[in-house]
Amino acid sequence: MKLTEMRDLLATRGIQLTKSLGQNFLHDANQLHRIIEAAELTGTDKILEIGPGLGPLTELLLEKAGEVLAIEKDGRLAEVLRERFGARSIAPRVRGQEIRAEPCSALQLIHADALEFIKREPRDWSEWKLVANLPYSVASPILVELARSPRRPERMVVTLQLEVARRLMARADDEDYGILTLLVQLDYEPREWFKIPSGCFFPAPDVDSACVVLIRRTQPFLSESQRAIFVKIVKRAFSQRRKMMLKLLRADWPAEKLSRAFEALKISPQERAEKLSLEQFTAFTKILTNEK
């Protein structure tokens, strides 16, 4: 879908885009094809797309994949998608009601808030890929919610704000390294990323964007029972970045237990959280959960 087609369609429909919904549509064909290539799609792939908008990425996904499930919050845009692609329309469950659907097509469309839907209706995403231009306002919580699911997607190829992309790709001691980095990288290996200039979107946002590729780890670092402790450690350790991690963690664990863990992992008592790698955080979690 070219920029002129987007403008004409919105004008014909009288649709005024809403900034609060992060409605900045990627129209650059080269960037759209780079996203598709990064997803490494096959004819049997099942794709989750969040925030399809007018469907420029959706169109390419339908050409390459076997099934696309799109979640769109804006009812006006959902109607456009139904007309463009003959989508099967799915209503989210409400108070125990069954899902109802219209005649089937390769595209299944849900008119809903994606973050609320994912939280409310846990699914087995383990054989799915997330390929999406995520709305800036909910990109981070959506990624964390999917990553923390026991049946998380095998690959996530997402376009989001450049600042968030840098956090997802960061390593220990990087300026952008922090809570989001660790919560996602616990289950996903960051493979590659590429910058997308703001001029590739309509309307152009105030910041640049980037597409990141995250691959689900074949061997989890932690068991499901240890994950809650990991999250607690990470959030507490980064609650005040300039303070020593040991002092911060004393709010939740006995000083003696923490000291033994620091000593076992040869971590200085003066170290700050930003210096510890993902592997050190997971090892620290195992010690705290296993020690009586």
Q: Round to whole Å and give the CA distance between 159 and 92.
A: 25
**Which residues have C-beta within 8 Å of that of residue 281, sequence separation ≥ 6?**
182, 230, 233, 234, 237
**DSSP symbol at 32:** H
Q: Round to whole Å and give the CA distance between 58 and 62.
A: 6
pLDDT tens, 165-216? 999 999 999 999 999 999 999 999 999 999 999 999 999 999 999 999 999 9
Residue 291: the pLDDT is 54
Omega into 203 within 30° of 0, i.e. cis?
Answer: yes
Taking CA 245 as the corner, what is the angle to CA 243 and CA 247, rounded to the nearest 5 degrees?
80
Asked whether 179 and 153 are in contact (CB, 8 A), the reply is no
Residue 260: the pLDDT is 95
Q: What is the DSSP string of 250-283?
A: TTTS-HHHHHHHHHHTT--TT--GGGS-HHHHHH
Averaged pLDDT, 74-81: 95
* Alpha-carbon 145 to chain mean position: 8
Residue 189: the pLDDT is 98
Residue 122 pLDDT level (bands cut at 50, 70, 90): confident
Asked whether 38 and 157 are in contact (CB, 8 A), the reply is yes
Q: What SS3 string covers 64-83?
A: HCCEEEEEECCHHHHHHHHH
Residue 96 pLDDT level (bands cut at 50, 70, 90): very low
Six-digit token string for 179: 């809570």
Q: Does the pLDDT of residue 46 top 80, yes or no?
A: yes
Residue 22: the pLDDT is 79
Helix (H) or strand (E) holding 17: none
Asked whether 230 and 281 are in contact (CB, 8 A), the reply is yes
Asked whether 24 and 203 are in contact (CB, 8 A), the reply is yes
pLDDT tens, 129-147? 999 999 998 999 999 999 9
| Segment among 19-33, 228-242, 253-267 with least mean pLDDT | 19-33
Q: Does the pLDDT of residue 98 top 90, yes or no?
A: no
Instruction: Give the percent of the chain with pLDDT over 70.
Output: 93
Q: Does the pLDDT of residue 103 top 60, yes or no?
A: no
The structural domains of the chain, ordered by start, are 3-216 (3.40.50.150), 224-290 (1.10.8.100)
Quote the mean pLDDT of the chain: 92
